[in-house]
Each structure stands twice: as structure tokens, then as C-alpha cells.
């Protein structure tokens, strides 16, 4: 049986490290406050990080990262996680897990990020470099990527069922955004996508310069539209325009990106967490009122 999220704790990590990486057994294990949803992360001493899938649904992401991060890293302009150890499934934890080298940095300040032109440009340049990286034999969209890189049409039923959550005229605008997304077919070629470009997966240095991009569990080869969502969720004004200009994608990709954002907002609107629901309302307002 897969352990509950709360059962994936420091004691479990210490046991796993002691059994599988005895050379690191003396290191302190400290839970990360900002651990993310898909994985539980723990600092391992000063220069390592243990990362365990938080649910059986996220197990495929482990192998995805372990296999492809080393291939991607040489082609990217910013650091990404470096695999330092490959944990195996065992009695204490029935799934593979990873140890990564520690990357110094912190999440961007949400009060600063929306207007940060330099960060917007640097992130877009990073995603452009990722998009240009050789995609030969890369993983197609699927359950491991939460279908990031796939077509927006896969979410048609989920989106259409939620239109009634919106009042007119927002409901009519949403129908138009979704129709445009479905009509803007992806014609390829498939490229690398990160799959989860969000504030929690960016690290900045003390000068608020983009220092690293993390969490490639949802990476895949496919349609880059899913990586545009941050345009609506985080950036505003001049920074938003800088992100779009630097990313250099065609209008059809932006239309599909708006569809991805609409889907994300409608899904989050039904969450019971008040903070997520408020965030969803802001995201929906942006994607329905602002076009790239």
C-alpha cells in the first residue's frame, strides 16, 4: 500500500537513505516547507535534496526526471535539477525516488514577479531553448505529464461542464476562448515542454534574477501551448508583453494556451481551498479580458 502524504516524513527518508545510500546516512533530514503537490521534498544535509512522489499517480514522474534531466541540462541557459542518486522501491517505500543536488535560491516574490521584465524575458528565453532541444525519442504526453503537451481537446468535457459556473458575459467570452483554442490545431513538430511553468517551480537569487527552473516531472514532447499559461497567471503589463515577444510563438499556439489557462482556472474554481478559488477567479478574469 502506498503511504499517505503525512507518512512520507523525515523518519522515512532517514530510513531510506540509511538503507540505500549509507554514505549519506549521517546527514540531517529537514522537510521543505514549500514541498509542492506532487512530491514531498526534504533537504539532505547542506547540498542534497531528497524527493519522493506523494501519491502513486506521481510515480511515473520520477523515472521521467531521472532519465531526461541529464539530457536536457547541457542545452539550457539556466540550472535545472541534477540527479545525485536514484532511490529504488523497497519495503519502506514502494516506489522509486530521487536525490538531487541542492540548488540555491528561493521562490520569486509574488508581489514583484508580475512586473519583472527581466525575469519574464529570461524565463521565455529558457523555454525557447528547451523548445529547441533535440526531441528525438522523448516522452510523448501521457499520465506521467498529466497530459501536458497534449491537445486541449482532451479537456473539452471538463471545460464545457463548468461554463455554468460563470455569469454572463464572462460565460460567453469563455465559450469564445475555448472555441478558438479548439480551432487552433497544433501542426507540430512536437517539441520539449516543461509542463508546469509556475511560480513554485522557479528559483531566483538575492537580486531576484532567475536562477533555476525546477520540477520537470510533467515534461514531455508535444505542443508548447501548455507552457504559455504563466503569461496569464503571473505576468502583467510590460513584463507580460516581454514574455510573449521573447517566447516567439504563433497566434495559434497562444490561442491554445488561452484554452489551457481557461481549463486551469475553471478546474481551480471548484477547489475547496479558498486561496485557490480566489486565484482561479483572477486567472479567469485575465484570460477572458486579455488576449496575447
pLDDT at position 184: 97
Superfamily in which the 113-289 domain is placed by CATH: Aminoglycoside phosphotransferase (APH), C-terminal lobe (3.90.1200.10)
29 membership: H or E segment, kind and range = strand 29-31
pTM of the prediction? Answer: 0.94
Using alpha carbons, list the distances in angstroms from residue 114 to 27, 130, 222.
Answer: 38, 22, 27
Residue 281: phi and psi, rounded to 5, are -65, -40
pLDDT at position 290: 61
Cβ atoms within 10 A of the Cβ of 59, count? 22
pLDDT at position 233: 96
In the DSSP assignment, the letter for residue 140 is P
Show me where the domains of the chain are located: 5-101, 113-289
CA distance 93 to 109: 35
Listed in sequence order, the residues at least 6 apart from 256 whose beta carbon sits closer than 8 Å to its beta carbon are 151, 152, 181, 184, 186, 223, 225
Residue with cell 541542492: 102
pLDDT at position 65: 97
Evaluated on CA atoms 19, 21, 27, 29, the torsion sign reads negative
Using alpha carbons, list the distances in angstroms from residue 99 to 5, 6, 13.
Answer: 18, 20, 11
pLDDT at position 272: 64
Averaged over successive runs of 10 residues, the pLDDT of the chain (292 residues) comes to 94 98 97 87 97 96 96 98 98 97 96 97 98 96 92 96 94 97 95 97 96 97 98 97 97 98 93 78 90 54
Residue with cell 509574488: 110
Which of 3.50.50.60, 1.20.1630.10, 3.40.50.300, 3.30.200.20 is the CATH number of 5-101?
A: 3.30.200.20
pLDDT at position 112: 96
pLDDT at position 270: 83
Amino acid at each position: 500500500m502506498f503511504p499517505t502524504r503525512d507518512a512520507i516524513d523525515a523518519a522515512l527518508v532517514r530510513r531510506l537513505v540509511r538503507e540505500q545510500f549509507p554514505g549519506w546516512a549521517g546527514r540531517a533530514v529537514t522537510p521543505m516547507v514549500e514541498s509542492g503537490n506532487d512530491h514531498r521534498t526534504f533537504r539532505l544535509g547542506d547540498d542534497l535534496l531528497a524527493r519522493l512522489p506523494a501519491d502513486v499517480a506521481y510515480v511515473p514522474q520520477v523515472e521521467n526526471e531521472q532519465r531526461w534531466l541529464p539530457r536536457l541540462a547541457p542545452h539550457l541557459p539556466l540550472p535545472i535539477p541534477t540527479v545525485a542518486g536514484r532511490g529504488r522501491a523497497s519495503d519502506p517505500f514502494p516506489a522509486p525516488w530521487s536525490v538531487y543536488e541542492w540548488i540555491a535560491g528561493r521562490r520569486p516574490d509574488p508581489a514583484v514577479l508580475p512586473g519583472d521584465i527581466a525575469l519574464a524575458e529570461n524565463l521565455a528565453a529558457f523555454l525557447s531553448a528547451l523548445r529547441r532541444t533535440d526531441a528525438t525519442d522523448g516522452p510523448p504526453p501521457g499520465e506521467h505529464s498529466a497530459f501536458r503537451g497534449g491537445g486541449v481537446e482532451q479537456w473539452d468535457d471538463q471545460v464545457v461542464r463548468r461554463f455554468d459556473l460563470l455569469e454572463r458575459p464572462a460565460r460567453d467570452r469563455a465559450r469564445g476562448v475555448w472555441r478558438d483554442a479548439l480551432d487552433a490545431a497544433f501542426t507540430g513538430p512536437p517539441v520539449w515542454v516543461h509542463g508546469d511553468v509556475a511560480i513554485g517551480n522557479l528559483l531566483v537569487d538575492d537580486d531576484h534574477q532567475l536562477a533555476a527552473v525546477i520540477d520537470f516531472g510533467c515534461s514531455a514532447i508535444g505542443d508548447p501551448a501548455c507552457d504559455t499559461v504563466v503569461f496569464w497567471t503571473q505576468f502583467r503589463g510590460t513584463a507580460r508583453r516581454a514574455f510573449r515577444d521573447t517566447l516567439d510563438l504563433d497566434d495559434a499556439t497562444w490561442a491554445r494556451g488561452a484554452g489551457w489557462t481557461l481549463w486551469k482556472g475553471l478546474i481551480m474554481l471548484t477547489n475547496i481551498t479558498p486561496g485557490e478559488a480566489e486565484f482561479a477567479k483572477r486567472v479567469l478574469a485575465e484570460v477572458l479580458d486579455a488576449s496575447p
